[in-house]
Amino acid sequence: MIRAVMLYLVVALLVTAAAAWVLLLVYPGADAQRAILTSALLALAIQMVAFIILQLFKGKNVIAGWGLGALLRFGGLGVYALFATRALGLDMNTALVSLACFLFLSMLIEPLLVNV
């Protein structure tokens, strides 16, 4: 399990960094940069917890693990939209688009690494 989690972390970091670079080109400016980097860190944290949950459910019920991960992602996006963007003073559009992008891209990696 530790090998799979570490491999997922490395791949998710690379994918998130590449996506952040593209988003920084699309959304220029210091406020957008702060929103994108904050979203990237939050997405990595959410994705790591979701992947660990998936690994814990792997031998029992993988679909339940993926379902819990999906609920975690959706809940994280909702809390970020309703509270965190305002509390942190982030540009809501940039923050939410970038978080959704990071979550989606790193979620696509999960099936490739679930059985590592």
Domain spans of the chain, in order of start:
2-113
pLDDT of residue 114: 81
Mean predicted confidence (pLDDT) in 71-80: 94
pLDDT of residue 43: 96
Return the higher-pLDDT residue of 1 and 106.
106
Distance of alpha carbon 46 from alpha carbon 80, whole angstroms: 12
pTM for this model (two decimals): 0.90
| Pair 68, 98: CB distance under 8 Å | no
pLDDT of residue 58: 86
Q: Which two tokens stand for residue 43?
A: 């997405």
